[in-house]
Structure 1
Amino acid sequence: MQKHTTNKRLVQYALYDKRTIFLALLMLVIAVGAELTGPFIAKRMIDNHMMGIENPWVEVVEEDNSTVFYNNHYYKRKANVTDDDIIGDGTLQLVQVGQSFYMTNQHLLFDGERVISGDTLTITRGDEQASYEVVKLNRNELFSFYKPEISPIIALLSLYVGLLFIAAFFQYGKSLLLQKSANRIIQKMRTDVFHHIQRLPIQYFDNLPAGKVVARVTNDTEAIRELYVKVLASFFTSGIYMTGIFIALFFLDVKLALLTLVLVPILVIWTLVYRKLASTYNHFIRTKVSDINGMINESIQGITIIQAFRRKKETLNEFEKLNEDHFTYQNKLLSLNALTSHNLVGVLRNVAFVALIWYFGGQSMTGATMVSIGLLYAFVDYLNRIFQPVTDIVNQLAQLEQARVSSERVFQLLDEPGEQVTIETIPRYEGNVAFEDVSFSYDGENDVLRNINFTARKGETVALVGHTGSGKSSIINLLFRYYDVSRGRITIDGQDVKNSSRQQIRKHMGIVLQDPFLFTGTIGSNVSLDHPDISEQQVKKALKDVGADRFIEKLPKQYGEPVLEKGSTFSAGERQLISFARALAFNPAILILDEATANIDTETETVIQEALKIVKEGRTTFIIAHRLSTIRDADQILVLDHGEIVERGTHEELLQQEGKYYHMHQLQVGKIPTKVG
């Protein structure tokens, strides 16, 4: 069922550019028709013109381009005259024996083995034998019989060459259109995959390394592109080519054409057997490619840790294990391909030629009708031609199976439930946030938040503090709807956040993370994220509000300074300032600072603290902080412990309680607390 669904969806994607594909197939049919006409032309040239002079000649009165003057009489091939044109009983027939030609006044009753003895020609076929008086023709006499055939031969050769040019033109057009169509299809597929990735919930990426996702967007879609460019093109071309050849063979000889049809079920059976054998290998190989990509991505991201803790050898061993597994199964697949593809075609080719020799040879031995040289040439030509598409089909089976496996992986990603995208906007929040008896679990079993209740009014600053794992970041994740609550509800301005889409909820929110992420581009583009509603003036103002202009204006290109991947050329503090400006440029009603000052030096922190006093006005601000000095002015501080709010109040109120907050404060200022709550 899965294979059927995958194949159906591949066809649906192909129909995305169906006009181009159908036009390409039409061009292919014309090209194949023009190309396969060649052996028929060659057969006619050989049988009717080159060997046609052995057909009976009759005496005629009038001379024209097809008459021959011999012994003071005009002769013309009997096939080219009507009964009214014939005069007398004058009949000639030419016979080739070895390299010489002979002429007799009698019509040959049958053909067979030819032997010349003096002026007598003896023909033997089985038990039959006949003798004729003959005269040997000299070179000039022989040429006179060939001369009428020169013009038709030249005409047929010209037609043959012309058809080759036509076939080449349409083959080129077919290949160009199919490749363009394939590129369009894969472009759409990659866009669909990337667009869908943006819609996937955050929890999807919790258990799937980024490298594996990248492998599906790049490696797997590239394998599918090869399916459309090479595999399907080869199958279409080969299928139409073989169909044309079989039609031609039926025109030549029905019995032998039926014999060659045995190739079709052999190919079908082999395709089914091969796919069954290769499927396991290809699934394993594609999985290992994803694992390798995932590990490479992880190693690059953590290269500083690997080097600092001297984990190079262990990391290399892990990579070698993945690489060795990939290598082993690639070799197994390679052995399967080498064992079957060329060997199968070679066996089929030899069997076909044995059948051809047996069939035509048997006709001669049993005294049946002699086969003309032209017919024999055409059959040999078509049999040679038919094995090229057979080879193409067999050789593309490996690529077909790889593409099918890759398709399953891509469609599996596309089938992951995504979030509904809503383009409708909602008015800017007032900024009143309430958590009402909220509980939450990541795994559905163990709660990381239990019965959380608090209210943040418009313009207030709420700080979340607590030990690692106490649930601070989980509260922010729920507020941003990266995850939904397990029990209870969250409201903004009295409205349950579940009643609005995630895009609407986040429209008027801004966030600054502990480890800011900068995109490749410029400082300006990292602030605006190329949003059309954010002008260059707004970008500069946001950067100045957070104090980033102090270092930016010293740069060569200032606000247009290039940013490399992850902003590696800037310090942690500079990246954080740009991240602050990004959040402010979008003018959020709710601003979230997730340990945003944890990696910033004291001087930069002072700059940001001054800026925050301005930008927090009119906004509800949530701050996750380990440095308690940064939240002294918070309107409300929530102290969390094991997923519960254990203390709440202002900085001064919590110090007076001498509880957990007081204990954390005393540790940070370097004093041993006298009392631990």
Structure 2
Amino acid sequence: MTTGKRLFRYAAIFKKTILLGLLMLSIAVAAELTGPFLAKKMIDTHILGIELPWYETAQRGDSVLYQGKWYTRQDHVSEGEKAGAQVRVLQVGRDYYFVGQPIAEDGQREVQNGKLTINSSSETAEYPAQRLTNSEVFAFFRPETKGLIMLAVACMGLLILASVFHYGQKFMLQKSANQVIQKLRVDVFAHIQRLPITYFDNLPAGKVVARVTNDTEAVRELFTKVLDQFFSSSIYLIGIFTALFLLDVRLASVCLLLLPIMVVWVILYRKYAAAFNHAIRSRLSDINAMINESIQGMSIIQAFRREKETKEEFNELNEEIFSYQKKLQRLNSITSFNLVQLLRNIAFILFIWYVGGASAGVGTLFTFGALYAFVDYLNRLFQPITQIVNQLALLEQARVAAERVFELLDEEGIEVDRGKASCYQGNVRFDNVSFAYQPNQYVLKQVSFEAWPGETVALVGHTGSGKSSIINLLFRFYDVNQGAVMIDGRNVMEMTKQQVRQHMGIVLQDPFLFTGTILSNVTLGDPSISRERAEKALRDVGADQLLRTLQNGFDEPVIEKGSTLSAGQRQLISFARALAFDPAILVLDEATANIDTETEGIIQQALEVVKKGRTTFIIAHRLSTIKNADQILVLDRGSIVERGRHEDLMAKRGKYFQMYQLQQGESASTGMALTSP
């Protein structure tokens, strides 16, 4: 499905609001475009209508008294009404003259010595003429005053009506646009929650953020500005062309040539602008990713004095964006206002040529009112064209941004199972499991072990031996390539990922805290975890000993990542979080690696409470912390090379023994260095 169709489907969700906005826009445009027709009637009928034939009649409401006789204009004399001699009132220069007889043919007028000379294409005629005073001229205009006032009031009313409906359509279209983007952002963010971990392995966080913020904002511009202008401009064009055809079919047909020119124009513009916009959006994502990375690693950048190099890297990306923006700006400059003005001037030249060349005198081809209305509509015609052209740049930016958003939505996600799964006992079995992050590069090779409910299993080994990969498979962050992972005798591949994780808890080496309070970081907004339960979990892990110094206690605000708290405090909150959720399987991923000795002692005491009745997996570099584990698995290059309790493995004097002795030797050396004078 094309990007346009998908955007249309989103818009269709709020079609009632959009259709109401378009209806109000149509009414506003109709009211606005009626104005020139009223102006035409005011000019032709009520102003220039004074030159229509006048007939001598009896006194009546719309008759004019001149030199003792009453005269009524031709368009006010009904059929069958008795009328006398015909007279005329003609304008010559700035003056009006009374001619007491009909004229044969109109043409170029000239007055000398009380004689009106009319030179037409076929003959020259002279008529006695009397110059009218201002009061006499006004007397002939007076019967039309009421009509002029009524039309002026109608024009004002239409303008007010158009303003009201313009406000309404603007409000409705903006409202629907914001609703569409709100829905789109919710869908994008919800989809991000369903994406597998592998997606985030290959895409920096800054680029994902750019899709949710920058790209959806560009799509919002599409609905709030571009489509608004396109809708209103299209309705304006329809209304203007309708009016032009009502005035003159031939001239309106010539003006229709503008439409194919616009279509070709838009196609060519989009062809070249799309490439530039793709490059710009891509570089913006790179900049977001780099900024995010720089902020996360600011302490490292400053510690190693890499500020200059980081700035140069940023400047390089920024320069690339600038170069593409210059190319796009050059394209916009060529194909925007200048081209519209060129077409506008051509249209007016053709119009002047047509009117001047096809008519012997003004008024034989067009009345002045029709001429005014046509020029007015011709002027108005280029306003929506200009608006459409000016929105082409935003249209392309929004289209490219929408492609990137839908590209994210098209990533295969994981269906969220909202059902409640019964708590399992916690029996975990890896049956001949092999796994590779990259094809044929196995990080786990035929791994088999079993953890019984309530047991503590420790995973040890050098970096890259496969410890974390076992945990990733247990949580189904990744799926096995060969073999099976079983929980209570059931293959995890037969369970949804939410069911697998529903009764698991994890404490990471670098715990992640969300913005909020200490308590909200324990409950994570789960309504089933009461305040009392969360506070008990904090006390059980000994957090009250380290957090009691805080001003607000457990309600102390936590900013992003808990940067105002110490490593020990963050780790204790993470332990309390795992305990509050009461998992059947608990994973401690090097949870004591970054903690001082005093805090580690507190946590070790709390662990005895946390582990009770749970299957616990511990990934640990400090082998001294796992002496009491029921089972220790020693991994090397993706395989389990030793297994057993601490005493058994020490007695074997194998790889575990060597690792333990090495750590003990380092500890002894460190202790001696600290106590030496």
TM > 0.5 fold call: yes
Distance, in Å, in 1 between the alignment partners of 2:558 and 2:145 is 75
1:84 to partner: Cα distance: 2.8
Q: Which residue of 2 aligns with 1:86?
A: 82
Q: Which residue of 2 aligns with 1:330?
A: 325
Give, as a single letter, the amino acid of the residue that structure 1 aligns with 2:63.
T
Give, as a single letter, the amino acid of the residue that structure 1 aligns with 2:301.
I
Q: Which residue of 1 aligns with 2:392?
A: 397
1:190 to partner: Cα distance: 0.2
Equivalent position SS for 2:14? helix
Q: Which residue of 1 aligns with 2:72?
A: 76
User: Are residues 1:307 and 2:311 paired?
Assistant: no
**8 A Cα contact 1:59 1:86, kept in partner:** no
Alignment counterpart, residue 19 of structure 1, candidates 6, 16, 19? 16
Distance, in Å, in 2 between the alignment partners of 1:138 and 1:575 is 98
Q: Structure 2 vs 1, CA of residues 671 and 21 (structure 1 numbering), >3 Å: closer, same or farther?
A: closer
User: Are residues 1:569 and 2:574 paired?
Assistant: no
Give, as a single letter, the amino acid of the residue that structure 1 aligns with 2:608.
K
Q: Which residue of 1 aligns with 2:674?
A: none
Alignment counterpart, residue 98 of structure 1, candidates 93, 103, 113? 93
Greater displacement, 134-143 / 9-18: 134-143
Distance, in Å, in 2 between the alignment partners of 1:292 and 1:410 is 17
Q: Structure 2 vs 1, CA of residues 131 and 445 (structure 1 numbering), >3 Å: closer, same or farther?
A: farther
User: Are residues 1:272 and 2:267 paired?
Assistant: yes
Q: Which residue of 1 aligns with 2:228?
A: 233
**8 A Cα contact 2:21 2:168, kept in partner:** yes
**8 A Cα contact 2:107 2:361, kept in partner:** no
Q: Which residue of 1 aligns with 2:602?
A: 607
User: Are residues 1:30 and 2:27 paired?
Assistant: yes
Q: Which residue of 2 aligns with 1:644?
A: 639
**8 A Cα contact 1:111 1:370, kept in partner:** no
Give, as a single letter, the amino acid of the residue that structure 1 aligns with 2:46.
H
Equivalent position SS for 1:664? helix
Distance, in Å, in 2 between the alignment partners of 1:523 and 1:600 is 19
1:329 to partner: Cα distance: 0.4
Q: Structure 2 vs 1, CA of residues 205 and 572 (structure 1 numbering), >3 Å: closer, same or farther?
A: same
Q: Which residue of 1 aligns with 2:164?
A: 169
Distance, in Å, in 1 between the alignment partners of 2:120 and 2:400 is 60
**8 A Cα contact 1:432 1:620, kept in partner:** yes
Alignment counterpart, residue 351 of structure 2, candidates 348, 356, 377? 356
Q: Which residue of 1 aligns with 2:58?
A: 61
Deviations 1:20-46 (A, max 9, x none): 000000000000000000000000001
Give, as a single letter, the amino acid of the residue that structure 2 aligns with 1:71.
Q
Deviations 1:555-607 (A, max 9, x none): 22111110000000000110000001111110000000000000000000000
Q: Which residue of 1 aligns with 2:675?
A: none
1:550 to partner: Cα distance: 1.4
Q: Which residue of 1 aligns with 2:201?
A: 206
User: Are residues 1:219 and 2:250 paired?
Assistant: no
**8 A Cα contact 1:60 1:85, kept in partner:** no
Q: Which residue of 2 aligns with 1:538?
A: 533
**8 A Cα contact 1:363 1:369, kept in partner:** no
1:132 to partner: Cα distance: 2.4
> Mapping of 1:1-12 within 5 angstroms?
5-12=2-9
Give, as a single letter, the amino acid of the residue that structure 2 aligns with 1:539.
A
Q: What is the TM-score of this pair, normalised by structure 2?
A: 0.97
Greater displacement, 32-41 / 115-124: 115-124
Deviation above 6 Å: which 4+ runs of structure 1? none
Give, as a single letter, the amino acid of the residue that structure 1 aligns with 2:50.
I
Q: Which residue of 1 aligns with 2:137?
A: 142
Alignment counterpart, residue 473 of structure 1, candidates 465, 468, 475? 468
Q: Structure 2 vs 1, CA of residues 128 and 353 (structure 1 numbering), >3 Å: closer, same or farther?
A: farther
Give, as a single letter, the amino acid of the residue that structure 2 aligns with 1:53.
I
Distance, in Å, in 2 between the alignment partners of 1:354 and 1:112 is 25
1:128 to partner: Cα distance: 4.4
Alignment counterpart, residue 553 of structure 2, candidates 531, 546, 558? 558
**8 A Cα contact 1:448 1:471, kept in partner:** yes
Give, as a single letter, the amino acid of the residue that structure 2 aligns with 1:257.
A
Equivalent position SS for 1:570? coil
Distance, in Å, in 2 between the alignment partners of 1:20 and 1:367 is 48
User: Are residues 1:501 and 2:496 paired?
Assistant: yes
Distance, in Å, in 2 between the alignment partners of 1:281 and 1:295 is 21
Q: Which residue of 1 aligns with 2:116?
A: 121
Distance, in Å, in 1 between the alignment partners of 2:540 and 2:69 is 113
Give, as a single letter, the amino acid of the residue that structure 1 aligns with 2:236.
Y
Equivalent position SS for 2:83? strand
Deviations 1:485-525 (A, max 9, x none): 00000000000000000001000000000000000000000
1:71 to partner: Cα distance: 1.7
1:368 to partner: Cα distance: 8.7
Alignment counterpart, residue 662 of structure 2, candidates 663, 667, 674? 667
User: Are residues 1:582 and 2:581 paired?
Assistant: no
Distance, in Å, in 1 between the alignment partners of 2:54 and 2:500 is 97
1:151 to partner: Cα distance: 1.1
**8 A Cα contact 1:59 1:91, kept in partner:** yes
Distance, in Å, in 2 between the alignment partners of 1:548 and 1:110 is 108
Q: Which residue of 1 aligns with 2:671?
A: none
Deviations 1:192-242 (A, max 9, x none): 000000000000000100000000000000000000000000000000011
Distance, in Å, in 2 between the alignment partners of 1:649 and 1:540 is 37
Q: Which residue of 1 aligns with 2:444?
A: 449
Equivalent position SS for 1:365? coil
1:313 to partner: Cα distance: 1.4
Q: Structure 2 vs 1, CA of residues 504 and 33 (structure 1 numbering), >3 Å: closer, same or farther?
A: same
1:254 to partner: Cα distance: 1.0
Greater displacement, 594-603 / 53-62: 53-62
Distance, in Å, in 2 between the alignment partners of 1:562 and 1:263 is 63
Distance, in Å, in 1 between the alignment partners of 2:104 and 2:656 is 120
> Mapping of 1:623-638 within 5 angstroms?
623-638=618-633
Q: Which residue of 2 aligns with 1:52?
A: 49
Q: Which residue of 2 aligns with 1:383?
A: 378
Alignment counterpart, residue 431 of structure 1, candidates 422, 426, 431? 426
CA RMSD in angstroms, aligned pairs only: 1.4
Aligned-pair identity (%): 60
**8 A Cα contact 1:438 1:453, kept in partner:** yes
Q: Structure 2 vs 1, CA of residues 444 and 115 (structure 1 numbering), >3 Å: closer, same or farther?
A: same
Equivalent residues, number: 668
Give, as a single letter, the amino acid of the residue that structure 2 aligns with 1:497.
V
1:667 to partner: Cα distance: 1.1
1:440 to partner: Cα distance: 0.1
Give, as a single letter, the amino acid of the residue that structure 1 aligns with 2:358.
Q
Q: Where in structure 2 are there 5+ consecutive unaligned residues?
A: 669-677
Q: Structure 2 vs 1, CA of residues 588 and 538 (structure 1 numbering), >3 Å: closer, same or farther?
A: same
Distance, in Å, in 2 between the alignment partners of 1:570 and 1:367 is 87
**8 A Cα contact 1:563 1:569, kept in partner:** yes
Alignment counterpart, residue 547 of structure 1, candidates 524, 528, 542? 542
Give, as a single letter, the amino acid of the residue that structure 1 aligns with 2:23.
L
User: Are residues 1:621 and 2:616 paired?
Assistant: yes
Distance, in Å, in 2 between the alignment partners of 1:124 and 1:230 is 57
